[in-house]
Structure 1
Amino acid sequence: MAMSAGTAEGEPMMDINTTPLIDVMLVLLIMFIITIPIQTHAVKLDLPQDQTNAAPPPIEPVKNKVVITPAGEILWNGAPITKIQLRQYLDITQTMNPIPELHLQPDPQARYVVVDEVLAVTKRAQVEKMGFVGNEAYGGAF
């Protein structure tokens, strides 16, 4: 005895065959994906122009000295710089091989806030080869 699926023998099926419909939809989808143009996104940037007569940043290959004056001025190898320039110089030194040492020499009369900001910049730049110079100036403070 055969199992029947609810229809009598000889009656037509009332369900639609969806297999050809799915095949046609997949072919149309693939055709649509192929015909989509490749979209390129352009980002407009104003890049700095190479200046042949510009001096390279004053970065020494062996050691660099950062001095903090009593007036709160930051000196990189004797030249005054800002904290942004300090970060740029430190980033450049971290890419050099071998990495040059950084000598930090705050004046005894310099404000601690400025020294702390410089230390924070060096920490964010991930400077590992750093030393303090001129600690003998603080010998009589305690």
Structure 2
Amino acid sequence: MAFSSGGSGGAMADINVTPLVDVMLVLLIIFMITAPLMTHKVKVDLPEANLEKKQEPLPTPPITVAVQDDGSLFWNDEPVTKEMLESRFSVEAQKTPQPQVNVRGDKTTKYRIVNDVVKTAQAQGMRKVGFVTVRDRSN
């Protein structure tokens, strides 16, 4: 705070604005220099949008693969062999949109057998593979 040299001897209540003006001018110059640099953009040719409504493909029903404890396989309740299963997976993987595969394993089936079915489906290109379970009703 500045003190007056006059006869009153009290504190001077005026604010010294010179440092404030100096800081504001420096900031103004900095922003004037950097603002044009920030507006420089990379030119990209964007694709044009077509607003016509497309027909969406109908959703395909999911495929259910059942695995029994003896290793027998069923494709939508139809018995199949491993070779038939691979060929059907490869045919279904080519479809757009790809149907979902639901694997139903018997309670006593070893996980190795179920895992073989899942790996076969993924190896043939199936992306949506899930498991079907029954909710525990003891609660």
Tell me the TM-score normalized by structure 2: 0.51
Q: Match of 1:67, as an amino acid?
A: A
After TM superposition, the structure 1 = structure 2 runs for residues 27-42 of structure 1, keeping only pairs within 5 Å, are none
Alignment partners' CA distance in 2, 1:122 and 1:136? 25
Alignment partners' CA distance in 2, 1:103 and 1:112? 15
Alignment partners' CA distance in 1, 2:73 and 2:116? 11
Q: Are 2:94 and 1:95 aligned?
A: yes
The offset of 1:135, in angstroms, is 5.1
Alignment partners' CA distance in 2, 1:89 and 1:112? 22
The offset of 1:133, in angstroms, is 0.8
Preserved contact between residue 62 and residue 99 of structure 2 (Cα < 8 Å):
yes
Alignment partners' CA distance in 2, 1:120 and 1:89? 14
The offset of 1:70, in angstroms, is 1.6
Paired position in structure 2 for 1:132: 131
Q: Are 2:103 and 1:104 aligned?
A: yes
Preserved contact between residue 103 and residue 129 of structure 2 (Cα < 8 Å):
yes
Q: Match of 2:93, as an amino acid?
A: Q
Q: Percent identity?
A: 23
Preserved contact between residue 118 and residue 129 of structure 2 (Cα < 8 Å):
no
The offset of 1:136, in angstroms, is 3.1
Q: Match of 1:62, as an amino acid?
A: P
Preserved contact between residue 102 and residue 132 of structure 2 (Cα < 8 Å):
yes
When the two structures are aligned, how many residues end up with a matched partner?
A: 79
Moved over 2 A (4+): none
SS, match of residue 136 in structure 1? coil
Paired position in structure 2 for 1:63: 62
The offset of 1:89, in angstroms, is 0.6
The offset of 1:81, in angstroms, is 0.8
The offset of 1:112, in angstroms, is 2.0
The offset of 1:85, in angstroms, is 0.8
Paired position in structure 2 for 1:40: none
Alignment partners' CA distance in 2, 1:112 and 1:98? 29
Paired position in structure 2 for 1:52: none
Alignment partners' CA distance in 2, 1:103 and 1:79? 14
The offset of 1:64, in angstroms, is 0.7
The offset of 1:77, in angstroms, is 0.3
SS, match of residue 135 in structure 2? helix
Gapped runs of 5+ residues in structure 1?
1-60
Paired position in structure 1 for 2:47: none
Alpha-carbon displacement from aligned partner over 1:58-105 (angstroms, at most 9, x marks no partner): xxx421100101221111000111111111111111111221111111
Paired position in structure 1 for 2:118: 119
